[in-house]
Amino acid sequence: MPMAGASRAEVHRMNQGQNKQYKRVLALILFLGIGLGLVTGTFLNPSFMKGQITSNNNSAVIARQINGHFNALADYVGADAADDTNLLSEKEALPIANHVIDYVLGIHWLKTNSSSLAKTIYNDIQKDVTSDSSTDAQGIKKQLKEHQSSAVAYVTAAFDLSLVMLGANLVTILLVINIVIIVSVIIMLLSMIREMREMLSTRSMIHTIVAAGMWAAGWLILLSGIMAIIPVLFNVEAWNLGGVGYLIEIASSTFLDFVIVGTVLYIVCAIPWQATAAK
């Protein structure tokens, strides 16, 4: 009898050890799957990002970024413009931003030149800068048209389109990696659940899965909260990182949404976790 009791205690310890191992691996798998799924559906989604930049705060951020490049264009064409002035209104800057988003996030393979985007931006300037626009903006439009043979090169340089092209290629690579990881995560998750069904009771399996979900939700809340608060603590627009600061500023509201998603997931997992806890 003592030996049987010891054996049962040993089995119990083994089950607890297995549960902890399953929980750690599942938490990582769920966090990767949920996190990459959210990133793919938001930051790598051109429709979502074009919707984000139309909000009041983000449209002002985008206008400042586009105007910074437009002011640089004034130097290239020899037009007079104040460096610290927003020459384009938010309405005039938005089409340019939308076309940049389509170029970077649209479905494409690796890009080798940005001339098509430069021509599109040139056309946006010619179409959207009208007699109602600022005098300086009209002057830049006129000078750009007079230098038509060099206009694409000027737009490419002023708007840092070589860097935009690099970003588009990085997005393509990141999207492929995300899809591969998400598919791998789904396969691993199904495999682990199949293995757990053989090793654990249904109650223990559910308890372990939702516990892992709570950990994954906690990590999502923590990391998203940190990313959301960065623009509050730092002047990210001043970061000279090829527009990364502006992206972080725009993304902060989306990271707050991720915090909400993580909170809802935590609550949803906490209810069955409590219900399946050992009495």
What does the alpha-carbon distance between residue 209 and residue 207 come to, in Å, rounded to a whole number? 6
- φ/ψ bin of 251: left (φ > 0), alpha (ψ from -120 to 50), beta (otherwise): alpha
Domain ranges of the chain: 14-43+175-279, 46-159
What does the alpha-carbon distance between residue 70 and residue 247 come to, in Å, rounded to a whole number? 18
* 279 residues of the chain, pLDDT tens digit each: 444 444 444 444 445 666 678 788 899 999 999 999 999 999 999 999 999 988 868 888 898 889 989 988 988 888 766 566 678 888 999 999 999 999 999 888 889 899 999 999 999 999 999 888 888 888 888 888 888 889 999 999 999 999 999 999 999 999 999 999 999 999 999 998 888 888 878 888 888 899 999 999 999 999 999 999 998 888 887 776 667 778 888 899 999 999 999 999 999 999 999 988 865
Please state the length of the chain.
279
Nearest 5°: the CA angle 68, 135, 160 is 20
Put simply, whether the predicted model's pTM sits higher than 0.95 gets the answer no
